[in-house]
């Protein structure tokens, strides 16, 4: 079985590539290595790691025509909210147009396709009232990033409705784990906090630290993707990919203190504009397919800390 993972050299993609490689799928990665690294996927040979851009539509179409992938997981994106605010025209060409081209190329030239999965985001909910966040409730995008994710997931859904393509979108909540790059100030907050603990640096809470998120250990994401990939009932659907648990940043900080058996300095600064106060996912639709998060935040953080201190 051939599987194409766009953005496969990045944080999440590398875990999916690892899993499907172990399951003996023939894994192809299409990645321009902008925020991803070859070293994340050392187990993929050069013939299967295609260093190219998803906006290169002719190239992508030819690749799909030639390889006739059984599965496509489309993760490649401008992932920084700030970058999409600075350059919305460029970011929509990656986050919307390239997704549409990927769908259209598969529709026209790949009759072998068994599933197309698109990585959407909890960002689409913005600051809407009401918890937990449900897929069929109001959305309120607060950034070009959120609008782009929404547009692309809706195209993905529409290709099922119009052309019966086997497509599913997943709205990822806050994913964390090994290989998440803490170098950007807008990277996942847990990777930043972890790095501060490693280096005995000061951690800054934007706001009072009481803000909550739904944190998902990346191995639980892999479980969810693999379930959706193999379930035809998921076609034409959009799911929240969360843990269903609401955890505050202060709770996370306390868990790191226990795991490292020490504390570090911290300070509070103004919350960032557009930052959401509380968020967690309703995940019943996904659990009804068999998804069951295995990692509590304590377990996930322990595995993460263990990895970062032994690699
Ligand atoms: N990490 C999270 O918590 C989270 C939450 C919601 C949604 N997502 C989505 O999940 C996906 C993966 O995110 P991640 O956290 O692994 O980020 P990441 O930056 O580690 O991975 C993105 C990958 O896409 C590649 N890429 C970027 N632009 C490209 C282009 N034009 N052509 C080809 N490759 C390109 C990058 O080089 C990188 O390897 C993204 O679509 C992101 O929006 C992530």
- Tell me, yes or no, whether 156 and 261 share the same domain: no
The answer on 150 and 167 residing in a single domain is yes
**How many domains are contained in the chain?**
2
* Residue 132 belongs to domain spanning: 2-174+216-241
Q: Residue 205 — φ and ψ, nearest 5°? A: -85, 125
Given this model, what pLDDT does residue 217 score?
97
pLDDT at 77: 98
Instruction: Give the CATH number, domain containing residue 253.
Output: 3.90.25.10
- Measured from the CA of 35, which atom of ligand 1 is nearest? 37
C-alpha 261 to ligand 1 mean position (Å)? 33
Give the end of a domain, one of 191, 226, 241: 241
* pLDDT computed for residue 69 by the predictor: 98
- Which tens digit of pLDDT belongs to each residue from 56-89? 999 999 999 999 999 999 999 999 998 999 999 9
Same domain, 273 and 153: no
CB 77 within 8 A of CB 5: no
Rounded-to-integer distance, Cα 168 and Cα 21, Å: 21
Residues 112 and 180 in one domain: no
Residues 140 and 284 in one domain: no
Please give the distance, rounded to the nearest whole angstrom, from the Cα atom of residue 217 to the centre of ligand 1: 16
Residue 160 above 90 pLDDT? yes
**Are 7 and 114 in the same domain?**
yes
Give the SS3 label for residue 306.
helix
Q: Note whether 122 and 203 are same-domain residues.
A: no
pLDDT tens track for 245-293 = 999 999 999 999 999 999 999 999 998 776 778 899 999 999 999 999 9
Residue 145 is among the residues annotated as catalytic for this protein: yes
Q: Whose CA is nearest to atom 35 of ligand 1?
A: 76
Mean pLDDT, rounded, for 154-165: 98
Residues whose CB falls within 8 Å of the CB of residue 23, separated by 6 or more in sequence, listed in order: none
CATH number at residue 150: 3.40.50.720
153 and 30 within one domain: yes
Q: Is the same domain home to 120 and 207? A: no
Q: Are 90 and 14 contained in the same domain? A: yes
Does 36 share its domain with 76? yes
Among residues 241, 258, 285, the one where a domain terminates is 241
């Amino acid at each position: 079985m051939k599987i194409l993972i766009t953005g496969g050299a990045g944080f999440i993609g590398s875990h999916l590539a690892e899993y499907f490689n172990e399951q003996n799928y023939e894994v192809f990665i299409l990645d321009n290595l902008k925020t991803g690294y070859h070293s994340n996927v050392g187990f993929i040979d050069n013939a299967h790691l295609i260093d190219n851009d998803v906006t290169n539509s002719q190239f992508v179409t030819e690749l799909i025509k030639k390889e006739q992938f059984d599965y496509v997981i489309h993760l490649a994106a401008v992932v920084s909210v700030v970058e999409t605010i600075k350059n919305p025209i460029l970011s929509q060409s990656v986050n919307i147009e390239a997704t549409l081209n990927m769908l259209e190329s598969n529709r026209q030239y790949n009759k072998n396709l068994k599933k197309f999965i698109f990585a959407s985001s909890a960002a689409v909910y913005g600051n809407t009232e009401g918890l937990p966040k449900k897929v069929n409730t109001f959305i309120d995008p607060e950034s070009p990033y959120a609008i782009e994710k929404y547009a692309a997931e809706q195209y993905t859904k529409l290709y099922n409705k119009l052309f019966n393509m086997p497509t599913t979108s997943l709205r990822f909540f806050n994913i964390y784990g090994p290989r998440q790059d803490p170098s950007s100030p807008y990277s996942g907050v847990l990777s930043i906090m972890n790095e501060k603990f490693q280096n005995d640096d000061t951690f800054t809470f934007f706001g009072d630290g009481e803000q909550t998120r739904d944190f998902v250990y990346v191995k639980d994401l892999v479980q969810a993707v693999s379930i959706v990939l193999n379930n035809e009932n998921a076609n034409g659907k959009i799911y929240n990919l969360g843990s269903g648990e609401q955890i505050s940043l202060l709770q996370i900080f306390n868990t790191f203190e226990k795991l490292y058996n020490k504390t570090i300095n911290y300070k509070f600064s103004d919350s960032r504009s557009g930052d959401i106060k509380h968020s967690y996912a309703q995940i019943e639709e996904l659990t009804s397919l068999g998804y069951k998060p295995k990692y509590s935040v304590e377990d996930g953080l322990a595995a993460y800390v263990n990895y970062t201190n032994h690699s």
